[in-house]
Amino acid sequence: MPQFDVTTFPSQIFWLIVTFSILYWLVVKRALPEIGRTIEERKARIAMDIEEAERMQADAEAALAAYEEALRKAREEARRIVGEHRQKVQAELEEERQRIEAELSEKIETAKARILSAKEKALAEIEEVAADLAVEIVSHVAGDEVGPEEARKALEEVKGRSAA
């Protein structure tokens, strides 16, 4: 193996140094700047992406805050509308209740008047029938003829005694 021959060591070391120097020069002058530029571009892109993400996060937080504020306002508005509607409905119900109560009171008064009129008419008819009956009873029992006027006076006296 020629590479282990001691006599060729100086030339091998020379070519090793030359090759290594050229390779070192190529790496330092060509590859490292390219790698450095790529790293810097990636750093810049990452920094821009981080800034964009932070900006988007701030925008999202602002949008969320605006949404929550709009939602709060919408809820307040809904509560206000419901409250107004509830008051309106309650007022309408109260008005309808009063109208119905007035109508019922009027009907009750009318019914009371009709009942009182019917009662008075019935009592008058009862007194007339009682007078006619008294005339018939007296004529059958006593055999006397009593006029309707006398029978009415007698009934009024009996009614006056029972009322006292």
Q: What's the predicted TM-score (pTM) here?
A: 0.44
In the chain, domain spans: 7-163
CA–CA dist 2, 47 (Å, integer):
55
Give me the pLDDT at residue 50, please: 97
Query: How far, in Å, CA of 104 to CA of 97, rounded?
Result: 10
Please report the pLDDT score of residue 1 as a whole number.
65
Q: What residue ranges of the chain have pLDDT lower than 70?
A: 1-3, 162-164
pLDDT of residue 100: 96
Could you count the other beta carbons within 10 Å of the beta carbon of residue 137? Answer: 13
pLDDT confidence of residue 88 = 96
pLDDT of residue 163: 64
pLDDT of residue 130: 79
